[in-house]
Chain A
Amino acid sequence: ETGVTQSPTHLIKTRGQQVTLRCSSQSGHNTVSWYQQALGQGPQFIFQYYREEENGRGNFPPRFSGLQFPNYSSELNVNALELDDSALYLCASSQGQGAFDEQYFGPGTRLTVT
């Protein structure tokens, strides 16, 4: 059974640029969630996709957007990067429709905005 994978591992971008982060869900999982974890903080929920549709969103601006593909892989896009966007971005997949289920997290993408 393949776990959740994320790419790239690390990324450095300049303020104002756009970035795309990728996640491959665990086999058989149809729900993916994205979280932002600033240094020394707990993860914060960005949004959740279930069967290719966004069905939940946290307190993040519209410049954070996502996609889920038919094979249940997912992308997180962030436009107009700001310095505060520097964080570890975690992807999690689950079998059920929401955060009630055990979520399997990937290793994360460390984004640095300069």
Chain B
Amino acid sequence: AQKVTQAQTEISVVEKEDVTLDCVYETRDTTYYLFWYKQPPSGELVFLIRRNSFDEQNEISGRYSWNFQKSTSSFNFTITASQVVDSAVYFCALSEGSGGGADGLTFGKGTHLIIQP
């Protein structure tokens, strides 16, 4: 069965520091999708990125970057020069290909990121 592990329950850094959120996943499928979502205090999950299992290229979007490594089953998320507005709970999620997408997303337990001014 699929599983997503986010070992860091809470991270606290000072503004402008770089921070990396770890995500390790387990799946038997060769086709799968990985996601990161941000959940601010308002509760609404905000989509950040989707990556399929055949695309191991790292991606950068502004201050955000993602490192996907199939060899270690990891999909880590780095925020460069963090800002107070980045404070939120961040979730890594997995969708397996064998279910045709109908099995929903499997989420990790989330990492609560606190950026102190």
Contacts and interface: CB of A to CB of B under 8 A. Distances in A.
Interface residues of A, number: 32
A97 B107 contact: no
Given A48-B102, A48-B104, 13 more contacts: A33-B104, A42-B110, A43-B91, A43-B107, A45-B106, A58-B103, A58-B104, A92-B45, A98-B103, A99-B95, A105-B37, A105-B47, A106-B44
Contacts, number: 83
A43 B45 CA distance: 10
A3 to B, nearest CB: 9
A17 B110 CA distance: 31
22 contacts: A33-B105, A42-B93, A42-B109, A43-B45, A43-B105, A45-B105, A47-B104, A55-B102, A56-B102, A56-B103, A58-B104, A88-B43, A92-B45, A97-B102, A98-B95, A98-B102, A98-B103, A99-B101, A103-B47, A104-B47, A105-B37, A107-B44
**Interface SS of chain B:** loop
Given A42-B110, A43-B91, A102 B103 contact: no
Given A41-B109, A99-B101, A108 B44 contact: yes
Interface residues of B, number: 27
Contacts of B33: 99-100
A98 B33 CA distance: 11
A96 interface: yes
Interface of A: 33, 35, 40-48, 50, 55-56, 58, 88, 90, 92, 96-108, 110
B75 to A, nearest CB: 15
Given A44-B107, A99-B95, A107 B43 contact: yes
B61 to A, nearest CB: 14
Contact of A101 (B97, B99, B101, B109): B101
Given A103-B105, A107-B44, A42 B95 contact: no
A102 B37 CA distance: 10
Contacts of B4: 42
A97 B100 contact: yes
Contacts of B107: 42-44
